[in-house]
Amino acid sequence: MPFVNIRILKGHSQQRKDEIARRVTEAVSEVAELPKEAVWVVFEDVTAPDWYVGGTTVEKPAS
Average pLDDT, integer, range 47-62? 87
**Residue 50: which pLDDT band, with cuts at 50, 70 and 90?**
very high
Tell me, which fold does domain 3-57 have in CATH?
Macrophage Migration Inhibitory Factor (3.30.429)
Per-residue pLDDT at 61: 66
Whole-number pLDDT of residue 21: 98
pLDDT digits (tens, 9 = 90+) for 9-47: 999 999 999 999 999 999 999 999 999 999 999 999 999
How many Cα atoms sit within 13 Å of 35 on the Cβ side?
2
State the catalytic residue, choosing from 2, 35, 49, 61: 2
This prediction has a pTM of: 0.85
Q: Taking the domains of the chain in order of start, what are their residue ranges?
A: 3-57
- pLDDT of 62 reads 59
Q: How crowded is residue 34: how many other Cβ atoms within 10 Å of its Cβ? A: 14
Q: Among this protein's residues, is 49 annotated catalytic?
A: no
